[in-house]
Chain A
Amino acid sequence: MKKTLTLLLAMLLVLTLVACQPASKQVTPTPAPSNQSGTGTGGSQQTSGLPVLSPDNPVTISVWTMTNSSAPASDNKLTKLLKERLGVTINYEIIPPENADQKIGVLLAGGEFADLMGTTDLNIRLIRGGALIPLDDYLTEDKANLLYEHVRPYWNRLATDAGDGEKHIYVLPNYNRYYGEIVGGTHYGASGFWIQKHVLEELGYPSLENMTLERYFQMIEEYIKKYPTIDGMPTIGFELLCAPGREWVLTNPPQYIAGHPNNGGVIVDENNVATIFADKEIAKNYYKFLNLMNAKGLIDRESFTQTNDQYLAKLATGRVLGMYDQRWAFGQAHDSLVAEGKYERTWVSTMPVYEGCTPYYADREVMNINQGYGISVSCKNPDVVVSFLNTMMSEEWQKIFTWGIEGEDYFVDENGRFYRTPEQREQQNDLVWRSKNRLEALYDNMPKRQGTYSDGNADSPGNQPEEFFDSLSDYDKNFLTSYGKKTWREFLNQPPDNPVYYPCWQIALPDGSEAQVASQQLTDLAVQYLPKIIMADPADFENMWAQYMNEIKKVNVKAYEDAINEGIQQRIREWGGGR
């Protein structure tokens, strides 16, 4: 009897727990009455075609976004601002990029989406999956005027075919649409053969012009002879990496060394024809060189087995003299060294090329087509959402997103220039502060004004020249002066205008297509053979290279090249004229 009682009690407990679920709150965007009257200073801009956002008509917008940023804290000051001024509340659904493809798959199958869908490179799946609505009707002078201005010069590039043969704009691009002067010449974020500053210092700041692979490695070799250990640990000459997702560290360099910009896995010649370069001489020569360097012991033996974390850890110890990588990818290691005050162990970029080639490492920023927000077919009142996005496009709101609140996050000097105090700069590093004071999760995929604002200030603190100088350490100031340069950007080439079709890595390969499979197979082969080739005895090089070439022959490279070439031709046709 007692046992049955206990059982009954247990079941009762279960039932109460089950019953005590948080009540399902149905949240749907409340339609804002489309009144024509402007509502004081708090409301959104008056445009005749779109509803006005104001605190008197509270609205909730659901945002699904693929981003690494975390959701804002509940007491976030910008969230409050959006509510007070525009009556807008945002419901976030944040998806970490790693598993996003699975989520997108089920969403497409289920057919229901949030109001705003923001992704990076998977937008094409959403578009072809019929998840987004075309925005053409809104992108006019009298409706979403600011958004229209944002996309107008690039209409042809942005319009995509969702599978019905027609081209519409579905997604608002999130990066690299420039207004005003293109600033941002201070920071260099992309590719290079990086070399430790101390090496250059020791060698008396040699000229970095006309850099070749031979000279690059020679400098490293000389330094190692002098300093076989750094801080008690063995010095590492050159670091490589081919961890998942970072294979391009291994496969990208040949195109740069041959004087071509980054087109992904292909090189495009003067006739605008693309071919892969993995099986060409330029690749062979590069890896042969690495093979010789490895025989000299200049390359880290663990390059090919380490994870990205371990790679960064090694870099952060300051004993790695050189690597090929893109600046943003090892930012963590750089920050770590800086935090220790070891400026001389950080790196500067060089551009080795083959004889007779001109370096083309730096390119002009490329607009991210098909990355950004789109409005879904499940959105119950797109008018409101468009109005919101349009308002967010204004200089006023853009400044709030990038610089912050005047007086709190930055100050304005007597010339109207924005600047920050060291404390203000410091707080940007704190994750917790950011969750309370910035809306990164929302802003990540939002269309941005890059370049300069109408008042001459740069789009964000990172690009404001004065900010840049103020934040330089003494060592770096000295370093730059020794080379007669003012910014890190100046170590790279002046980028010529991008060709119309550039960059090819942006050409989306259809899911499940032969081309996509071939591309993956090529990467897989590279990762399988190149490490062996580089680490092999130089006498075996030719043999192993031949083996590698044989395997490549089995891959349907033609399908891949055809797809890219088709993409190139299409871009030339449709985008010809203007960037």
Chain B
Amino acid sequence: MATNPLVQQNRKKSVWSTIVAQRELIIMSIPLLLYKILFSYVPVIGWTMAFQNYKPARKSFFNQEWVGFDNFVKLFTGINGERFLRDLRNTIGQSFLTLIIGYLGSISLALLLNEVKNVKFKKIVQNITYMPHFLSWIIVAGLVSTMLAIPTSGGIINDVLIRLGLIKEPIMFLSEPKYFWWIVAFSNLWKEMGWNTIIYLAAMTAIDPTLYEAAVIDGANRYQKMWHITLPGIKSTIVVLLIMNVGHILQAGFEIQYFLGNGLVVERAEIIDIFVLRYGIQMGNYSLATAAGIFKTVVSVILISIANFIAGRLGEEKLI
């Protein structure tokens, strides 16, 4: 466009006039923005704890002993550091596996449920698959632990495997580090699979039914319909959730590792949050805990920025 002085003047005016024109939207949103800043961003002043040797007794955040990056150094070096890095690897590994298995499980379940014509059956299945979500992790951990035990202690899995002749001796699932990540992923799957379908099913209701009708006329079969209509229809939901979850990769849960982790599997079981609990909070070392928290945030932000960017490049719905 030519830099017509008239157009330029219009452009300068347009920012202000846009604000005026959109004033309703502004009224509907700005207060909530300020609200969020107050409750989420203002307390971040507390991050100064990570750079101090914080002692609650000294009251204010500004009355403390400053130690610069000492806490971060402590996190990454020495015997503490070895431990932290190992936990970092475990956290990422568990998250990643949980993510993949979780997605495959809940999306496929949502698709299958969508194919069910009998409304009553569908409702029943939905209600039942939501139930595990309501059980607290401590109960789930107990159940998982029992299921994986040896047959005389109620270990169903070992029992079945032995009866089918697939193994001779029971497998000590909870003693071998290599199983742990899978245990976490499948426990999460069991607990959240049904619940996660809620969002997908709600999104499926937004798909225009006429698309299906048109597809039937064109002779599409069930699988083609799923692949070309349903999946694309919930694609934006999937992508948005994916980006968000990628940011949460350092958040691998807590309870299940806490209850099922033990000395034999700690190599693969311990995650960052447990480390923070043991060496941070339980020792009154809030500085260390905060430093670990800041690290997690930095990594998360970087990751979602990358994911968001890639999504945009691929022409998908972006998060931001």
Touch A–B, Cβ below 8 Å? yes
Q: Which of A110-148 contact B (CB under 8 A)?
A: 111, 125, 128-130
- The answer, yes or no, to whether B174 is at the interface (CB within 8 Å) is yes
A242 near B56: Cβ-Cβ < 8 Å:
no
- Answer whether residue B178 sits at the interface, using C-beta atoms and an 8 A cutoff: no
- Evaluate whether A511 and B150 lie within 8 angstroms (CB atoms) in the complex, with A109-B56, A305-B175, A527-B262 already known: no
Taking the complex as formed, is B285 at the interface, i.e. its CB lies under 8 A from any CB of chain A?
yes
Query: Are A527 and B57 interface neighbours, CB within 8 A?
Result: no
**Interface flag for B80 (CB, 8 Å):** yes
| Apart from A305-B149, A520-B278, 7 more pairs, CB < 8 Å | A301-B172, A304-B262, A511-B285, A524-B278, A527-B263, A528-B264, A528-B266
Q: How far is the CA of A431 from the CA of B138 in the complex (A)?
A: 23
CB contacts under 8 Å to A, within B45-80, are 53, 55-57, 59, 79-80
Given A101-B282, A304-B175, the answer on whether A243 and B262 have CB atoms closer than 8 Å is yes
For chain B, the count of residues having a C-beta within 8 Å of the partner chain is 36
Interface flag for A234 (CB, 8 Å)? yes
Contact between chains at A304 and B56 (CB < 8 Å): no
Interface pairs (27), CB distance under 8 Å: A101-B284, A105-B281, A105-B286, A109-B56, A111-B59, A128-B57, A233-B152, A244-B258, A301-B150, A301-B172, A302-B149, A302-B153, A304-B264, A305-B174, A306-B145, A306-B149, A307-B142, A310-B153, A512-B283, A516-B283, A520-B278, A521-B79, A524-B266, A528-B264, A528-B266, A530-B263, A531-B264
Instruction: Assess the A512–B284 pair: CB atoms within 8 A.
Output: yes
Pick the residue among A125, A314, A526, A555 that contacts B284 (CB under 8 A): A125
Contact partners of A109 in chain B: CB under 8 A: 56, 59
Q: How far is the CA of A554 from the CA of B174 in the complex (A)?
A: 28
Docked CA distance A55–B57 (Å): 38
Interface residues of B in 272-310 (CB under 8 A from A): 278-279, 281-288
Residue in A102, A305, A314, A517 whose beta carbon sits within 8 Å of that of B279 in the complex: A517
Interface residues of A in 293-324 (CB under 8 A from B): 301-302, 304-307, 309-310, 314
**Residue A544 at the chain B interface, CB threshold 8 Å:** no
B259 interface residue per 8 A CB criterion? yes
The answer to whether A309 and B142 touch (CB under 8 A), given A108-B57, A109-B56, A125-B284, is: yes
Dominant SS among interface residues on chain A? helix
Taking a contact as CB atoms under 8 Å apart, the answer to whether A102 and B281 are in contact is: yes
B152, A511: Cβ atoms under 8 Å? no
A102: nearest chain-B partner, CB-CB:
B281
**Contacting residues of chain B (106-149) with chain A, CB-CB under 8 angstroms:** 141-142, 145-146, 149
* Complex Cα spacing A128 to B145, Å: 41
A555→B150 CA distance, assembly (Å): 36
- Asked whether any CB of chain B lies closer than 8 Å to the CB of A532, the reply is yes
* A513 nearest CB across to chain B (Å): 9
Q: Which residue of B lies closest to A530 (CB)?
A: B263
Asked whether A242 and B263 contact (CB < 8 A) given A108-B57, A234-B152, A310-B153, the answer is yes
**In whole angstroms, how far apart are the Cα atoms of A532 and B175 in the complex?**
9
Asked if B57 contacts A101 (CB within 8 A), the reply is no
Looking at chain B's contact residues, is the secondary structure mostly helix, strand, loop, or mixed?
helix
How close is B312's CB to chain A, nearest CB, in angstroms? 35
Q: Distance (Å) between the CB of B118 and the closest chain A CB?
A: 34
Contact of B283 among A233, A234, A520, A526 (CB under 8 A): A520
Q: Which residues from A are CB-within-8-Å of B278?
A: 520, 524
Distance (whole angstroms) from the CB of A244 to the closest CB of chain B: 7
Is residue A204 contacting chain B, with contact meaning CB distance below 8 A?
no
Instruction: Say yes or no for A22: interface residue by CB 8 A criterion.
Output: no
Smallest beta-carbon distance B90→chain A, Å? 14
State which residues 220-274 of A face B: CB under 8 Å: 233-234, 242-244
* In the complex, A496 has a CB within 8 A of chain B: no
A19 to B153, CA, bound (A): 54
**Shortest CB distance A511–B (Å):** 4
Known contacts being A305-B174, A307-B259, A309-B142, is A130 close to B266, with CB within 8 Å? no
A163 in the interface (beta carbon within 8 A): yes
Interface centre among A109, A243, A314 (most CB of B within 10 A): A109
Q: Assess whether A105 is in contact with B57, with CB atoms less than 8 Å apart.
A: no
Which residue in chain A gives the minimum CB-CB distance to B53?
Answer: A512
On whether the beta carbons of A532 and B59 are closer than 8 Å, the reply is no
A511 touches B283 (CB 8 A): yes
Minimum CB–CB distance for B63 against chain A, Å = 12
Check A101 against B281 for contact (C-beta < 8 Å).
yes
Interface size grouping (class) on chain A: 35 or more
**Chain B residues whose C-beta falls within 8 Å of the C-beta of A242 in the assembled complex:** 262-263
Q: How far is the CB of B247 from chain A (nearest CB, A)?
A: 25
Asked, given contacts A128-B57, A520-B278, whether A305 binds B262 with beta carbons under 8 Å apart, the answer is yes
- Nearest Cβ on chain B to A166's Cβ, whole angstroms: 16
Give the complex CA separation of A242 and B262 in angstroms: 8
Q: How far is the CA of A511 from the CA of B264 in the complex (A)?
A: 28
- A310-B145, A512-B284, A555-B79 given; A305·B152 CB < 8 A: no
Q: Say how far A415's CB is from chain B's closest CB, in angstroms.
A: 50
Residues from 161 to 189 in B contacting A, C-beta threshold 8 Å:
172, 174-175
Chain A residues within an 8 Å CB radius of B142: 307, 309
Least Cβ–Cβ distance between A306 and chain B, in angstroms: 7
Instruction: Report yes or no: A305 in contact with B283, Cβ–Cβ below 8 A.
Output: no
Asked if A302 meets B79 with Cβ closer than 8 Å, knowing A101-B282, A531-B264, the reply is no
State in angstroms the CA–CA spacing of A81 and B33 once bound together.
54
For window 502-537 of A, CB contacts with B under 8 Å fall at 511-512, 516-517, 520-521, 524, 526-532, 535
Give bound CA distance, A544 to B287, whole Å. 36
Closest Cβ of chain A to B140, distance in Å, is: 13
Cβ B263 vs Cβ A512 within 8 A: no
Q: Which residues of A contact B259 (CB under 8 A)?
A: 307
- The distance from the CB of A316 to the nearest CB of chain B, in whole angstroms, is 13
Contact with B along A176-203 (1 / 0, CB 8 A): 0000000000000000000000000000
Closest beta carbon of chain A to B168's beta carbon, Å? 15
In contact, A305 and B284 (Cβ under 8 angstroms): no
Closest Cβ–Cβ distance, residue A331 to chain B (whole Å): 20
Cβ proximity bits A80-124 to B, threshold 8 Å, 1 near / 0 not: 000000000000000000000110010011010000000000000
Give the interface centre of B175, B259, B265, B287 by most chain A CB atoms within 10 Å.
B175
The residue of chain A having its C-beta at the shortest distance from the C-beta of B74 within the complex is A517
Query: How far does the Cβ of A63 sit from chain B's closest Cβ, in whole Å?
Result: 21
With both chains docked as a complex, state the minimum distance between the C-beta of A168 and any C-beta of chain B, in angstroms.
16
Least CB separation from A532: chain B residue: B264
Q: Which residue of B lies closest to A234 (CB)?
A: B152
| B residues 219-267 in Cβ contact with A at 8 Å | 258-259, 262-267
Contact between chains at A511 and B284 (CB < 8 Å): yes
In angstroms, Cα B283 to Cα A516, docked, is: 8
**Nearest chain A residue, comparing its CB with the CB of B170:** A301
Query: Which residues of chain B from 80 to 116 have any CB-CB distance to chain A below 8 Å in the complex?
Result: 80
Tell whether, in the assembled complex, residue B263 and residue A304 are in contact, meaning their CB atoms are under 8 Å apart.
Answer: yes
- Whether A307 contacts B59 by the Cβ 8 Å rule is no
